[in-house]
A and B are shown apart, each in its own frame.
Chain A
Amino acid sequence: MRRLVAYLATALLATAACTGGSSTAGPSSTTVSANTLGTIRIGAIYPLSGSVASAGVNAFHGTELAVDVLNGKYPQIDMPPLTVGKIELKSVDSQGDPQNGAADVDRLVDTEKAVAVIGAYQSAVTLTASERAERLGIPFVNGASGAANLSDRGLKWWFRTGPTALDSAQTYFAWLKSIQSQHAVKTVSVIHQNDAAGNDFAKATKDEAAKNGVTVADDISFQSNATDLTSQVQRLRSANPDAIFSQMFINDTSLFLKTMAQLGYTPPALLATGGGWDDPTFMQVVGPLGRENIRVVTWGIQVTEKNPTAKAVDEQFFKNYGVHLNGDSARTFTAMITLGQAIEAAKSTEPDKIRQALQSTNVTKTIMPWAGIKFDSRGQNTLAAYLVLQLIKEDWQILYPKELQTTQPVWPMATLTGR
């Protein structure tokens, strides 16, 4: 019996030694000629459960569809498939918890042998996950996290294809400037979640307000998944700004709009950003209270009218998942395509060669209404941009930029109470 136990213990130790245990164990990597890289494992981190899961799953679907496109599953979509190998996506659920971000990267790299990681949707999770990827020397590509300071950390392995909260604020103020003769905005209030993305959004908005000579009447933060937002809405009502800048996820968005309606307060304009207004369930959850809300977003269905590739991707997305692309899924799709194209260019699964290929990325054809994708020295795409949309009846219409505009803004918005 003792001998048996000794054998088992030895076998276990040997197995442990073979599978590693070192946190710095990197993926097996290869540099070879075309079509022989075989299976290329990419790690994906998204909040697939928890209070942000609705938006997280939708964002994951964007990445998943991009992998299928790269693997040549949908030849009708005019995007070149990989010739160097097939991508296998290994996904993990962050549960929306920043504490899981680093451990998820460890797991994907050490256990799943991922050569690059994509994710993680929420800025707070992206922060911890990308820092871990940096330490492991693994490219981390992000599509849909907005916190501007994520690109200000001096990271070598960090790449973000999407725009930032600063871009969002700049887009809003550029639009407000273009309509100031009809709708002058002299004071604004800011309401946001008290987390990395929310605080970054508030800072960017306040900075841009100052640059544009607009007074910030109040800056209100709250814990997400709030059970009551009466006090916060009261403060907004008390400040009575010309416009409200807001950032929150879907449950809080619903409670926020309902509380405003209950308290009989309607701002002249509600300018939103963040997952709540871009959530695929937005219309169902908030109902008529969503009408005339304004949001910045990276993608709108109107993009398909001028971009046949975007139309084909949207049609396939709808076929697979029953909803149209939105700002989140279009961004995560684009991030994954960018990573795939970098691997194609690198012709290697060596993380450093993928990183170099990402740095040299210069893409002009995407499904986004952007000039393309080109990273600066901070890993930030300098060509990403936002659209300003307003929900008119049941459709999101483009207000800005001028060349894509489909309607004039409804300003002030109709009273929320009694809708």
Chain B
Amino acid sequence: MAELPQAVVSGILIGSVYALLAVGLALIWGVMDIVNFAHGNFLMVAMYATFFAWSFLSLDPLLGTFVAVVVLVALSLATFYVVIRPVLRGTVLSQMVVTFGLLLLLQGGAQMLFTPSARAVVHPWLDGARFVASGVVLGGPQLGAAAVAIIGLIGLWWLLNRTEVGLAIQAVAQDRKAAEVMGVQPDRIFALTWAISGVCVGLAGAMLMNFYAVDPAVGFQFGLIAFIVVALGGFGSLRGALLAGIAMGVTQDVVGLYLPAYGLAAIFVLYLLVFLIRPQGLLGAH
């Protein structure tokens, strides 16, 4: 039977999207030591941007990806300059509270502007695409989402490890003051980090919109998953986030095959097990 291979493949596909969603969170944490509680709701904004580009501008959701990315970069930069920068010198608690406030603001704002109703893109051309190999089905939207996620993650890795800007980001993450002495302007790097995070979550949201409905509360579940991915992979580790995202997707689907009610619960158990053995996460540093 192809049930187990199907569960593994489906888990890898959705896990890749979890990873792309989570790297934005990991990046901000790694560079700035700030936890963005509103991250899941950034995904919600990206999904709405894709939906409205489809419904008002008749843009295919794949083209709507560009709209979502632009909107999310703008939202991320606005968040940094208006909300985060003023509390950079504040306490950790004040930094947490402002992002939590942003979470509530985005969710309440979406409910007020767009109503609580669920919305979905109907009939994207990707919807009809299916690839079957040895009884295992690769759905077009899921395959597309995973491909964009993997390309996005590779691009991010290249940016961080093979470009001067990426090295500057890493330098600020490792030692902000030393980087400043070397001529790097942390303020710009922080803004760039938020913009890159916006690109990642914009891509993830746009691709999810091909097979998932959006409503003002959609960010909660995905936001929670993003946090677990980051913690499981190791705070600040991109490779860890990818590994953790895929591990969570596969665990969720394989456990769900045998114990359907506990697929989601299984990823929490996985996190606890890893945490007991490696408190720093799969690939996190001490």
A interface list, Cβ under 8 A from B: 48-51, 53-54, 56-57, 194, 220-223, 225-228, 230-232, 234-235, 238, 250-251, 254-255, 258-259, 261-264, 279-281, 284-288, 417-418
Q: Within the complex, which residue of A53, A254, A262 is in contact with B139, where a contact is CB–CB below 8 Å?
A: A262
Q: Nearest Cβ in chain B — how far from A410, in angstroms?
A: 21
Q: Nearest Cβ in chain A — how far from B252, in angstroms?
A: 6
Q: Nearest Cβ in chain A — how far from B258, in angstroms?
A: 8
Query: What are the residues of chain A within 8 A of B220 when measuring CB–CB?
Result: 51, 225
Measured CB to CB, the nearest residue on chain B to A264 is: B137
State whether A53 and B257 are in contact (beta carbons under 8 Å apart), knowing that A264-B130, A279-B118 are contacts in the complex: no
State whether A227 and B14 are in contact (beta carbons under 8 Å apart), knowing that A49-B116, A56-B116 are contacts in the complex: yes
Q: Nearest Cβ in chain B — how far from A288, in angstroms?
A: 7
Is B213 close to A, CB under 8 A? yes
Q: Nearest Cβ in chain B — how far from A49, in angstroms?
A: 6
Is B111 close to A, CB under 8 A? yes
State whether A231 and B225 are in contact (beta carbons under 8 Å apart), knowing that A258-B211, A285-B119 are contacts in the complex: no
Query: What are the residues of chain A within 8 A of B265 when measuring CB–CB?
Result: 223
Query: What are the residues of chain A within 8 A of B255 when measuring CB–CB?
Result: 231
Query: What are the residues of chain B within 8 A of A234 when measuring CB–CB?
Result: 3, 6-7, 257
The answer to whether B254 and A231 touch across the interface, beta carbons within 8 angstroms, is yes
Q: Quick one: which of B218, B220, B256 has the most chain A CB within 10 A?
A: B256
The answer for the CA separation of A251 and B222 in the assembled complex, in Å, is 13
Query: What are the residues of chain B within 8 A of A262 when measuring CB–CB?
Result: 130, 137, 139-142, 211
Query: What are the residues of chain B within 8 A of A418 when measuring CB–CB?
Result: 128
The answer to whether A251 and B213 touch across the interface, beta carbons within 8 angstroms, is yes
Q: Within the complex, which residue of B115, B123, B142 is in contact with A288, where a contact is CB–CB below 8 Å?
A: B123
The answer for the CA separation of A286 and B1 in the assembled complex, in Å, is 30
The answer to whether B264 and A49 touch across the interface, beta carbons within 8 angstroms, is no
Can you give 24 contacting A-B residue pairs, CB < 8 Å?
A49-B216, A53-B217, A228-B252, A230-B6, A230-B14, A231-B7, A231-B263, A235-B257, A235-B260, A238-B1, A250-B213, A254-B120, A255-B213, A258-B141, A258-B211, A264-B137, A281-B118, A284-B119, A285-B122, A285-B213, A287-B120, A287-B122, A287-B123, A417-B130
Measured CB to CB, the nearest residue on chain B to A219 is: B260
Q: Nearest Cβ in chain A — how far from B115, in angstroms?
A: 7
State whether A228 and B249 are in contact (beta carbons under 8 Å apart), knowing that A223-B261, A250-B118 are contacts in the complex: yes
The answer to whether B257 and A231 touch across the interface, beta carbons within 8 angstroms, is yes
Q: Quick one: which of B122, B132, B216, B225 has the most chain A CB within 10 A?
A: B122
Interface residues on B, range: 35 or more
The answer to whether A222 and B119 touch across the interface, beta carbons within 8 angstroms, is no
The answer for the CA separation of A48 and B111 in the assembled complex, in Å, is 9
- In the complex, the number of residue pairs spanning A and B with C-beta atoms less than 8 Å apart equals 142
Is B221 close to A, CB under 8 A? yes
The answer to whether B117 and A280 touch across the interface, beta carbons within 8 angstroms, is yes
The answer to whether A221 and B260 touch across the interface, beta carbons within 8 angstroms, is yes
Query: What are the residues of chain A within 8 A of B122 when measuring CB–CB?
Result: 284-288
Query: What are the residues of chain B within 8 A of A227 when measuring CB–CB?
Result: 14, 212, 221-222, 225, 252, 264
Measured CB to CB, the nearest residue on chain A to B130 is: A262
Q: Within the complex, which residue of A53, A223, A228 is in contact with B253, where a contact is CB–CB below 8 Å?
A: A228
The answer to whether B264 and A54 touch across the interface, beta carbons within 8 angstroms, is no
Is B76 close to A, CB under 8 A? no
Query: What are the residues of chain B within 8 A of A231 when measuring CB–CB?
Result: 7, 10, 252-257, 260, 263
Q: Within the complex, which residue of A54, A222, A230 is in contact with B215, where a contact is CB–CB below 8 Å?
A: A54
State whether A255 and B211 are in contact (beta carbons under 8 Å apart), knowing that A51-B217, A220-B260 are contacts in the complex: yes
List residues 216-268 of chain B with CB under 8 A from any CB of chain A. Answer: 216-218, 220-222, 225, 249, 252-257, 260-261, 263-265
Please name the 9 residue pairs, one residue from A and one from B, whose CB atoms are nearest each other, closest first.
A53-B116, A231-B256, A287-B122, A262-B139, A230-B10, A231-B257, A221-B261, A51-B217, A54-B117
The answer for the CA separation of A230 and B117 in the assembled complex, in Å, is 24
**Extra pairs beyond A51-B220, A53-B215, A54-B118 (9, CB < 8 Å):** A49-B108, A230-B253, A230-B256, A231-B254, A234-B6, A285-B119, A285-B120, A417-B130, A418-B128
Query: What are the residues of chain B within 8 A of A53 when measuring CB–CB?
Result: 111, 116, 215-217
Q: Within the complex, which residue of A49, A221, A230 is in contact with B7, where a contact is CB–CB below 8 Å?
A: A230
Contact with A along B174-198 (1 / 0, CB 8 A): 0000000000000000000000000
Query: What are the residues of chain A within 8 A of B261 when measuring CB–CB?
Result: 194, 220-223
The answer to whether A238 and B120 touch across the interface, beta carbons within 8 angstroms, is no
Q: Nearest Cβ in chain B — how far from A121, in angstroms?
A: 13
The answer to whether B130 and A251 touch across the interface, beta carbons within 8 angstroms, is no
The answer to whether B264 and A226 touch across the interface, beta carbons within 8 angstroms, is yes
State whether A232 and B256 are in contact (beta carbons under 8 Å apart), knowing that A53-B216, A254-B120, A285-B120 are contacts in the complex: yes
